Structure 1
Amino acid sequence: MKNKEWGTGLFKFLTFFADSVIVVFSVYITFLLLFDFKPPKWNIGPFIDIIPLIIITYLIFMYVFGLHDLLKRSFSETIYSIFLTVIALLVTTAFLTFFTRGFAYPRSVLLVSPVVQFVLLSIWRTIVWKITRKFHGRKDSLIVGGKSIEYLTTKILTKQKDLYNVKYICNSKSRHIKDYLKKVDVVFLCEDINLDLKKEIVDICLSTRKSIYIIPDIYEIALLNSKLSRADDIPIFKVKKLGLTIEQKFFKRLLDILVSLIGIIITSPIMLIVVIAIKCTDGGDIFYKQERVTINDKKFNVLKFRTMVMNAEGLTGPVLAGESDPRITKVGRILRATRIDELPQFFNILFGTMSVVGPRPERPFFVEQFKEEIPDYKYRTIVKAGLTGLAQVLGKYTTTPEDKVRYDILYVRNYSIFLDLKLILQTIKIMFMKESSEGVKEDIDFNELMREEYSEVTIDLVEK
């Protein structure tokens, strides 16, 4: 097992090293092609000077856009991440060359080299993706849980079936859990099994070197980043309070002001086009104000471009938008798909009612409803509501409220200014991903799924 982990680490290192070589080599190839294989020294000199900065910049964006994850990313997402990384590297390289050697770095090389980088990195990462998948194989797996077991199982079977071969599905009352554990390599634990059983399964997995994945509840999340302390010679964990310190709030507010001003300036042409489009299509109101809840349960009016017909909730009342909701206008569908309808919230951020990063602001009607259904929902309003957040970057529009709450609490627990910067950049990535913005879908029927495609899986769900 240790040799396997060492080999995996070495493979990752070699992959990232090869990435860096390809990024630099692509620029050099471009020089050769554009200068008949005789690039002038005064032109290639600035490139050589900033090679270390190019490599560092690439590695940073590679991490931000998820290329460090060699296994869990789909092939299409990997290619999309390469595209974003190359574009970000182009912009950064343009700034680097301007501030180092000015116009000695050829503009033609600056524009052509990203194409070469994208092609070569895509070919290389395709090979890496296939090798990683083949090396990992399909791991025999056990899923243990309660009420949420069907939801988790459906996700694994439909989204990660090429990585995990689900052999057993059982709830916490099953008498055969230990037998199932002996026959699998990977264990998934839902959040709603009792703590004693969870500790027993974790103990077995640790002693037998099995991989284990746990959906966290507030207890596990609270332990994250705990500080090791002691009572005399007894080791103890000090669980940090949820929320931001005064210093963190100060620097977060500075970032909000800076990003909102830049956002308003850069997106003003887009917002002008949207204003014209909305007025020309149905002549109704351009903006839509809606009461939302932010830090300490304070209410404020969030500002958005209108994407539905006028008075859309006059008859239906407050309801979540569906995937094919007839109330959404033609222009509104485009705005929702690209998240452009959210751009006016830069003004909310500038005026201090919102933050760039934080839990998405919810309507008071749904806040009260979710507080009754989800005990941990109250922790979302410990920080200011945000334009984007961990739930938006790692989740989808269709992610359940329970999972969004987990992401929001994890964000609060792990907050740092660097995490905010990372999530801001990652938001660019998810803006054009369809799954991240589509409406609420019909649930996949678990029993139908098992009956049609996974009839050989052992299902051991004792009656509650």
Structure 2
Amino acid sequence: MQFQDFKDSSYLNNPSKISILYYADIYKNDISETFNDESFEILSFSSLAELQSATQKLTINELNSTILLEVSQQNINEAVDFIESLKKNWLTRNLIVFFLLHENDNQLFQIALKLGISDCYKPTINFNDVKERLRFLTFYKLLRSQVSNISETPSVEYKIPFSKRLIDIILSLSALIFLSPFFLIISLLIKLDSKGPIFYISKRVGTGYKIFDFYKFRSMRQDADKLVADLAKKNQYGNSAFFKIENDPRVTKLGNFLRNTSIDELPQLYNVLKGDMSLVGNRPLPLYEAEQLTTNEWSMRFLGPAGLTGLWQISKRGKKDMSDRERKKLDNFYASNYSIWLDLRIILKTIPALIQKEKV
């Protein structure tokens, strides 16, 4: 495919189509096979210099392009110069750029990170992982663009206020120290109950669309995430971005107890201590849920703190008649009205709401 054909192609009129510009030799076939579907439009270049020349011709309408760059010790200097030139240009500095390394070289990996690229992969590369990561980053750019369009909330802060952050640190640290013996007991029981790790760690989207590692005691089978599509018809929220089902078959025997008592959520005290979350706020969402909430009405929920507990937990938690619109209203209300006094009221009401009556 020639560059002029690329510029005239349909992806410019279809924001859901992701265009990929890449230079690769060893990985050329992998890229061609992996991205050979209707969601992508790919263009290969025979040299890094040719790719650089093409990026200089990009227009403002072509900012959903992604660059895949095969990098080795032999072309690292050329790659560095290329990325630095992209960063100096206001039009191209936010392009999604992936480095695909030839060698499992930590030095190259560190250089890539310092350049501020979107992601870096060492051999052996799973290109399906690259594909999914690229999909999410593209959605992520779309999500972030929605924030700038929310003119109704000019006073909303993205940074947790100092007083709220101070309370978070004091209470989460105290709780982690006090509960440490209990954590050891729960860890042992999880190991005895089923195969798999003690903690479930997943990527979540929180305040201002920040992505972070989210911690829970594992309460499900190891392959739980892979079964979401098969269970979609049973979703409590119907055809919604939110996902929760009654009597979830993925939950282990011990997991039912951990979830019904909310013990599985306690490791998030570490997220609170780190600053990923606050004690009170809107629940951070899994990537597959967050990437679907792209309208201004939904984006509002991400403009408040992400939290361990919140309004929907104390008012509707465990009730299968809660609609996604009700949850959205609660999330949006908190994002617009959160305060220390509201947080204290929610914390005081959280304890009696911990015991769920229904298995959801």
TM-score (norm 2): 0.51
Displacement, 1:284? 1.8
Match of 2:266 among 343, 347, 353: 343
Counting only pairs closer than 5 Å after superposition, residues 15-164 of structure 1 correspond to structure 2 as: none
Q: Which amino acid aligns with 2:349?
A: Q
Q: Quick check: which one's helix share is greater?
A: 1
Q: Which amino acid aligns with 1:285?
A: P
1:428 aligns with 2:359: no
Displacement, 1:241? 4.0
Match of 1:324 among 217, 238, 247: 247
Counterpart CA distance in 2 for 1:251 and 1:316 is: 39
Distance 1:245 1:396, change over 3 A: closer
The C-alpha deviation readout for 1:313-346, integer Å capped at 9, x for no partner, is 3354595342111110000000000000000000
Counterpart CA distance in 2 for 1:394 and 1:242 is: 27
Distance 1:316 1:413, change over 3 A: closer
Q: Which residue of 1 aligns with 2:277?
A: 354
Q: Which residue of 1 aligns with 2:216?
A: 304
Displacement, 1:245? 8.7
Match of 1:404 among 316, 322, 327: 327
Match of 2:162 among 238, 241, 250: 250
Match of 1:390 among 311, 317, 323: 311
The C-alpha deviation readout for 1:119-145, integer Å capped at 9, x for no partner, is xxxxxxxxxxxxxxxxxxxxxxxxxxx
Distance 1:433 1:412, change over 3 A: same
Displacement, 1:391? 1.5
The C-alpha deviation readout for 1:10-68, integer Å capped at 9, x for no partner, is xxxxxxxxxxxxxxxxxxxxxxxxxxxxxxxxxxxxxxxxxxxxxxxxxxxxxxxxxxx
Distance 1:244 1:314, change over 3 A: closer
1:381 aligns with 2:302: yes
Displacement, 1:240? 7.0
Q: Which residue of 2 aligns with 1:413?
A: 336
Q: Which residue of 2 aligns with 1:282?
A: 194
Aligned residue for 2:326, secondary structure, equals helix
Q: Which amino acid aligns with 1:371?
A: T
Range with greater deviation from structure 2 (396-405 or 377-386): 396-405
1:365 aligns with 2:288: yes
Range with greater deviation from structure 2 (275-284 or 330-339): 275-284
Q: Which residue of 2 aligns with 1:313?
A: 225
The C-alpha deviation readout for 1:65-87, integer Å capped at 9, x for no partner, is xxxxxxxxxxxxxxxxxxxxxxx
Aligned residue for 2:188, secondary structure, equals helix
Aligned residue for 2:285, secondary structure, equals coil
Counterpart CA distance in 2 for 1:367 and 1:261 is: 29
Structure 1 contact 242–382 (Cα < 8 Å) conserved: no
Counterpart CA distance in 1 for 2:199 and 2:332 is: 31
Structure 1 contact 243–382 (Cα < 8 Å) conserved: yes
Gaps of 5+ in 2: 1-149, 233-242
Q: Which residue of 2 aligns with 1:167?
A: none
Aligned residue for 1:387, secondary structure, equals strand
Give identity over the alignment, percent. 40
Aligned residue for 1:313, secondary structure, equals helix
Gaps of 5+ in 1: 1-221, 223-238, 440-464
Aligned residue for 2:201, secondary structure, equals strand
Q: Aligned pairs, how many?
A: 197
Distance 1:412 1:286, change over 3 A: same
Aligned residue for 1:369, secondary structure, equals coil
Counterpart CA distance in 2 for 1:369 and 1:413 is: 21
Q: Which has the larger radius of gyration?
A: 1
Counterpart CA distance in 2 for 1:381 and 1:353 is: 13
